[in-house]
Chains A and B, each alone.
Chain A
Amino acid sequence: MKVGEKSKPIEILLVEDSAGDVRLVKEALKENKFLNNLYVARDGVEAMKFLHQEGEYADAVRPDLILLDLNLPKKDGREVLAEVKGDEDLKRIPVVIMTVSEAEEDILKTYNLHANCYITKPIDLDQFIKVVKSVEGFWLTIVKLPPR
């Protein structure tokens, strides 16, 4: 299933307020051989603007995958998730929750809001890199994504 569209990069929107985490995700993705374009939104409001192609994001691409942190300034990850999954057009985009929270209520709530999967950020660097790599690998090589 390694498609001929390998040349066509995958578009990823990372919604994350921590610069350190953004860098770690970038570093992890760098180690993967897949082509990708990573866009970063630093809060929930910015993320929604990007997805709705508003303002400075008028030319933004539609992402193939959203990596979403839960604790965000202005509009938190749960709200972003609810809006994406409540939007007829956006709801097909897979949303991967990446958070430090291990709380059962967070896990339950986000799945109830139709999150596609929930991942707790590993504390160890190697584990973190491994998880980001396997998330990308899974959505790129195993999953058939809906057409853009």
Chain B
Amino acid sequence: MNNDTRTKQELIRELVSQEKRIAELERSEAQLKRAEEQLRAASRYSRNLIEASLDSLVTISSTGKITDVNTATEKVTGVPRNKLIGSDFSSYFTEPENARAGYQQVFMQEHVTDYPLSIRHTSGAITEVLYNASVYRNEKGEVLGVFGAARDITERKRAEEEIKTKNEELAAASEELVAANEEFEAANEELITINQELQRTEEALRAASSYSRNLIEVSLDSLVTISSTGKITDVNTATEKVTGVPRNKLIGSDFSSYFTEPENARAGYQQVFMQEHVTDYPLSIRHTSGAITEVLYNASVYRNEKGEVLGVFGAARDITARKRAEEALKKTLADLERSNKELEQFAYVASHDLREPLRMVASFTQLLAKRYQDKLDADANEFISYAVDGANRMQKMVNDLLSYSRVGVRGKPFEPTDCTGILNQTLTDLKVAIDENEAIITHDALPVVMGDELQLVQLFQNLIENGIKFRSKEAPRIHISAQENGNEWIFTVQDNGIGIDPQYNERIFIIFQRLHGRENYPGTGIGLAICKKIVERHGGRVWVDSQPGNGSTFYFTIPKTGGLKP
């Protein structure tokens, strides 16, 4: 009895202490679960931002293997996440060499900005992107690898990005936890095991959360989340840098107040809610120092697990440098255009005004020859003949130079021009040469293009004339055709003449460049230079494909802009 009582009391005591232990374990489990919930929420939030990013994000290990990607990266490559991770990062670019060079640069300089690359989708589609990338470190500050953010700069089309709400790994871990919870009451040992598991999960979650957060912080793009009431709820380091405002001041403030045009910023914010996202929305951020940073925003809504919209996540890319470069380029182009115009004007005026004194030189040497040839000695005759020949040649060159500069200076505005009509006109003009050489000239249907009729006649005439002039022993056969190629027409003028050594493919289009002696083929070497100038004035290109003895095919393009089908 006593024994029994004692045993009972002991049992009760044991039970009580057991219950206490269970209660303690339950309390500790509840605490762990709460902590886990918080961590899971934090991790999910950071991960959500990463997945919500319209920019392709990637982390790469120090050995060049992809360690993490977001949905945008799967989309732009067409490769699923599980295939991407562990693979060589450079293999998804059209120029892996360049990609590897950029990757090396990140290690050397800590980061790179606006590094241009092209990503190849499995379908073959190419996406041109600019990379901002930086190294990322663990808590001890050791470099773990590279974090890169690629912004699509070619097709700024709608990114139908769905925000992923669940982290699959976390979901799996959660399920394990639920199962473990069910088993909880079965055994105390299991509680301990579960506790250990929870601790491990917590560590994993903490690591996942700090990892995602790290990525956000190392981003060179300014990142921000904004609540549905327009208050900033989160920022990264880049945002502090670009505004000059510390994080604690930024959070809770009106997001629009940091832009030079708050109205525009608010309009963009509204647009995100209406369209789920915006891409390349231009805004200017004002730093407290007054400095302005021009940025393009990619922004999207982000949601909680239930799919409810919580606010807007925005990523701003600094385009100040790009814009400055663009403006510098624009200015250089304008300068170049002006100096070209001046040069053209100069060539025109010079060749025009040179004709007068030259006419005097030529006329009086001719007069000298006419009156005094054979009245002086043989030397004098020879001198006179060289003077006459030189003056004549110079006259031809000055005239040709004048025609050349006229292409730019005296061009007419473009009008719809039927190339069949142009060709017929040309053939009429060349009738004598065609008949003399028994040339056969054929053509396909030719389109109507926007052009300067007189210049197009000159273009066809020069090319066909060349085909006849540089003939082989066979009768010249020349065929003219045109094919559509996207936004342009490619014209071809194909002959069966003597052909051109490919090493001269460029040279023949330069003014006064000749490949043959004047005795065999007369002319100053202006024809193809004029062709090039005419084609370029029409916004096209001209080139040749030829082999000596196998004829030549001249190609030129005319943009379609407003042109009509044949």
- Chain A positions within 8 Å of B, measured between CB atoms, are 18, 20-21, 24, 27, 100, 121, 123-126, 128
Nearest chain-B residue to A27 (Cβ)?
B367
Nearest chain-A residue to B370 (Cβ)?
A125
Contact A123 B355 (CB under 8 A): yes
12 contacts between A and B (CB under 8 A): A21-B360, A24-B363, A24-B367, A27-B367, A123-B362, A123-B395, A124-B362, A124-B366, A125-B362, A125-B370, A126-B366, A128-B363
Q: List chain A residues, Cβ under 8 A from B395.
A: 123
Contact B359 A121 (CB under 8 A): yes
Secondary structure type dominating chain A contacts? helix
Contact B360 A125 (CB under 8 A): no
Most buried by A among B355, B359, B360, B362: B359
Contact B355 A125 (CB under 8 A): no
B356 within 8 A of A: yes
Nearest chain-B residue to A128 (Cβ)?
B363
Contact B355 A20 (CB under 8 A): no
Contact (A18, B363) CB under 8 Å given A100-B355, A123-B355, A123-B395: no
CB distance from A76 to the nearest CB of B (A): 15
Q: List chain A residues, Cβ under 8 A from B363.
A: 20, 24, 125, 128
Q: List chain A residues, Cβ under 8 A from B362.
A: 123-125
Secondary structure type dominating chain B contacts? helix
Task: Tell me, in angstroms, the Cα distance from A121 to B358 when the chains sit together.
Answer: 13
B364 within 8 A of A: yes
Using a Cβ–Cβ cut-off of 8 Å, how many residues does chain B contribute to the interface with A? 12
Contact with A along B339-357 (1 / 0, CB 8 A): 0000000000000000110
- Chain B positions within 8 Å of A, measured between CB atoms, are 355-356, 359-360, 362-364, 366-367, 370, 395, 399
Nearest chain-A residue to B356 (Cβ)?
A100
CB distance from B396 to the nearest CB of A (A): 10
Nearest chain-B residue to A126 (Cβ)?
B366
Q: Which of A100, A123, A125 contacts B367 (CB 8 A)?
A: A125
- 10 further interface pairs, Cβ-Cβ under 8 Å (given A24-B363, A123-B355): A20-B360, A20-B364, A24-B367, A27-B367, A100-B355, A123-B359, A123-B399, A125-B362, A125-B363, A126-B366
Most buried by A among B355, B362, B363, B395: B363
Task: Tell me, in angstroms, the Cα distance from A18 to B360 when the chains sit together.
Answer: 10
Task: Tell me, in angstroms, the Cα distance from A20 to B399 when the chains sit together.
Answer: 20
Nearest chain-A residue to B358 (Cβ)?
A123
Q: List chain B residues, Cβ under 8 A from A20.
A: 360, 363-364
Task: Tell me, in angstroms, the Cα distance from A100 to B363 when the chains sit together.
Answer: 14
Most buried by B among A100, A121, A123: A123
Q: List chain A residues, Cβ under 8 A from B356.
A: 18, 100
CB distance from B246 to the nearest CB of A (A): 70
CB distance from B351 to the nearest CB of A (A): 12
Task: Tell me, in angstroms, the Cα distance from A20 to B395 when the chains sit together.
Answer: 17
Nearest chain-B residue to A23 (Cβ)?
B364
Q: List chain A residues, Cβ under 8 A from B360.
A: 18, 20-21
Task: Tell me, in angstroms, the Cα distance from A40 to B399 when the chains sit together.
Answer: 30
CB distance from B136 to the nearest CB of A (A): 71
Q: List chain B residues, Cβ under 8 A from A123.
A: 355, 359, 362, 395, 399
CB distance from A42 to the nearest CB of B (A): 16
Q: List chain B residues, Cβ under 8 A from A125.
A: 362-363, 366-367, 370
Nearest chain-A residue to B399 (Cβ)?
A123
CB distance from A120 to the nearest CB of B (A): 11
CB distance from B352 to the nearest CB of A (A): 9
Q: List chain A residues, Cβ under 8 A from B370.
A: 125
Nearest chain-B residue to A24 (Cβ)?
B363
CB distance from A23 to the nearest CB of B (A): 8
Task: Tell me, in angstroms, the Cα distance from A100 to B360 when the chains sit together.
Answer: 12
Q: List chain A residues, Cβ under 8 A from B399.
A: 123
CB distance from B179 to the nearest CB of A (A): 95
Nearest chain-B residue to A19 (Cβ)?
B360
Q: List chain A residues, Cβ under 8 A from B364.
A: 20
Q: List chain B residues, Cβ under 8 A from A124.
A: 362, 366
CB distance from A90 to the nearest CB of B (A): 29
Q: List chain B residues, Cβ under 8 A from A27.
A: 367
CB distance from B556 to the nearest CB of A (A): 28
Q: List chain B residues, Cβ under 8 A from A21.
A: 360
Q: List chain A residues, Cβ under 8 A from B359.
A: 100, 121, 123
CB distance from B24 to the nearest CB of A (A): 106
Nearest chain-A residue to B353 (Cβ)?
A100
Nearest chain-A residue to B364 (Cβ)?
A20
CB distance from A108 to the nearest CB of B (A): 16
Task: Tell me, in angstroms, the Cα distance from A20 to B355 when the chains sit together.
Answer: 14
CB distance from B405 to the nearest CB of A (A): 14
CB distance from A127 to the nearest CB of B (A): 10
CB distance from A121 to the nearest CB of B (A): 7
Q: List chain A residues, Cβ under 8 A from B355.
A: 100, 123
CB distance from A72 to the nearest CB of B (A): 14
Nearest chain-A residue to B371 (Cβ)?
A27
Task: Tell me, in angstroms, the Cα distance from A123 to B361 when the chains sit together.
Answer: 11
Nearest chain-B residue to A122 (Cβ)?
B359
Q: List chain B residues, Cβ under 8 A from A128.
A: 363
Nearest chain-B residue to A21 (Cβ)?
B360
Task: Tell me, in angstroms, the Cα distance from A20 to B360 when the chains sit together.
Answer: 6
CB distance from A130 to the nearest CB of B (A): 13
CB distance from B423 to the nearest CB of A (A): 26
Q: List chain A residues, Cβ under 8 A from B367.
A: 24, 27, 125
Q: List chain B residues, Cβ under 8 A from A24.
A: 363, 367
Nearest chain-A residue to B388 (Cβ)?
A125
CB distance from B127 to the nearest CB of A (A): 53
Task: Tell me, in angstroms, the Cα distance from A126 to B356 when the chains sit together.
Answer: 16
Q: List chain B residues, Cβ under 8 A from A18.
A: 356, 360
Task: Tell me, in angstroms, the Cα distance from A80 to B110 when the chains sit together.
Answer: 79
- Of all A-B residue pairs in the complex, the 3 with the closest CB atoms, nearest first, are A125-B366, A20-B360, A125-B363
Task: Tell me, in angstroms, the Cα distance from A123 to B362 when the chains sit together.
Answer: 8
CB distance from A95 to the nearest CB of B (A): 22
Q: List chain B residues, Cβ under 8 A from A126.
A: 366
Task: Tell me, in angstroms, the Cα distance from A120 to B35 when the chains sit together.
Answer: 99
Nearest chain-A residue to B396 (Cβ)?
A123
Task: Tell me, in angstroms, the Cα distance from A128 to B356 when the chains sit together.
Answer: 13
